[in-house]
Amino acid sequence: MEAQKKNELGFTVDYIIQLKHWETTHVGKEVVTSLAAKLTDDDKHRHYALLITTSRLTGDAKDEMANKGRLSAIEGEELFDMCSQNELGVRSVELGEFGERRGERLLFLDPEWFDDLERQT
């Protein structure tokens, strides 16, 4: 997926966005390397990549991201916080009618919402 955004100076910045909806596997270095390869060198000030995952990045993936530059990531917990604050891609269930947890709701990422988003890209 590609997107454009104006930065604080008013210049248009191009982004490549990759989504990974993995429940049990951490995102590894090879995914970061593949994403970095999609960035062009013709204008290093305008091309960036964003990796969004419901999972987490491995240590090697984070190191690779730092070494390559122009790459950012939003991982599981941060993604959950952003989604729940904006009421996007989250579902809630009531924990129970009685007892200590009465009236409490549990929020979790909605896998179907992310599947639909991935199919659109």
pLDDT of residue 121: 60
Domains of the chain (ranges; CATH) run 2-120 (3.40.1350.10)
Q: Which residues pair with 13 in a beta bridge?
A: 5
**AA letter at 2:** E
Encode the chain (121 residues) as per-residue pLDDT tens digits. Answer: 666 666 666 766 777 878 887 767 899 999 999 988 888 666 555 688 889 888 899 999 999 999 988 899 999 889 888 888 888 888 888 776 666 666 777 888 888 887 787 777 6
Bridge partners of 27? 57
Report the candidate in 58, 52, 21, 17 with the shortest Cα–Cα distance to residue 38. 17
Residue with tokens 């990422």: 109
- Alpha carbons 40 and 42: distance in angstroms, whole number: 6
